[in-house]
Amino acid sequence: MHLPDGVVREGVLLASYGGSALLYYLSSRQKKADFKLVPKMSLVTAVLFVASLIHIPVGMTTVHFSFVGLAGILLGPLSFLSVLVALFLQLILFNHGGYSTLGVNTLNFAMGALSGYYIFRLRKNLEMNNFLEGVFAFLAGAGSMLVKVAVASVGLYLSDYPASVAISLTTVHLPIFLGEGVVTALLVVALSKKNRGYIYDEE
């Protein structure tokens, strides 16, 4: 979900750019932010970029995948950088979103990615098997989308949109919550079987 120009108040826009700048600063200072991660970050960025082209009709509108939860699992806090690049390319190449709302959209997607990372991280002190790994990956994928929609809804509410808009956004995105959870779970389990180094916490 990309918010276009003209739907968010100026104060919300400024606050979102400030929040995005802070996340960028914190992400860029991660100890694991080195050149060895560039190939994986590039691949995740490509997935984020292409995911928005997969549209699902829901009623009178369409919704699309984002896979921000998967980005969080694979890149941790560094997922912000992939989100920023993917959204910028979507904006200039396909006019997804708006130039004034790039900060809002980046914050929405980044908060989703970070929530996916922290949800999946809850499994660290548990004895894992493939099923439980898949369950946590599902929760991370679905939960990241819920957080993303919730952050966008807060921005719209602060821009004087009624609360019914948030309810509508959540309702139409229910298929995406489930779809992203399932796909994220399948991918994470498959990657874990092949090489656990793909997961950020286990590199």
Q: How many domains does the chain have?
A: 1
pLDDT in tens, 140-174: 999 999 999 999 888 888 888 888 888 888 888 88
- Domain extent at residue 30: 10-202
How many angstroms from the chain centroid is the CA of residue 44?
11
Confidence of residue 129 (pLDDT cuts 50, 70, 90): confident
Instruction: Let me know if residue 103 belongs to a domain.
Output: yes
Instruction: Let me know if residue 5 belongs to a domain.
Output: no
Instruction: Let me know if residue 28 belongs to a domain.
Output: yes
Instruction: Let me know if residue 191 belongs to a domain.
Output: yes
pTM score, two decimals? 0.89
Instruction: Let me know if residue 192 belongs to a domain.
Output: yes
**pLDDT computed for residue 31 by the predictor:** 59
The phi-psi region of residue 195 (left if phi > 0; otherwise alpha if psi is between -120 and 50; otherwise beta) is beta
**pLDDT computed for residue 70 by the predictor:** 94
CATH number of residue 162's parent domain: 1.10.1760.20
Average pLDDT value over all residues in the chain: 86
pLDDT in tens, 87-108: 999 999 988 888 999 999 999 9
Instruction: Let me know if residue 144 belongs to a domain.
Output: yes
Exposed / middle / buried, residue 136 (Cβ in 10 Å: 0-12, 13-18, 19+): buried
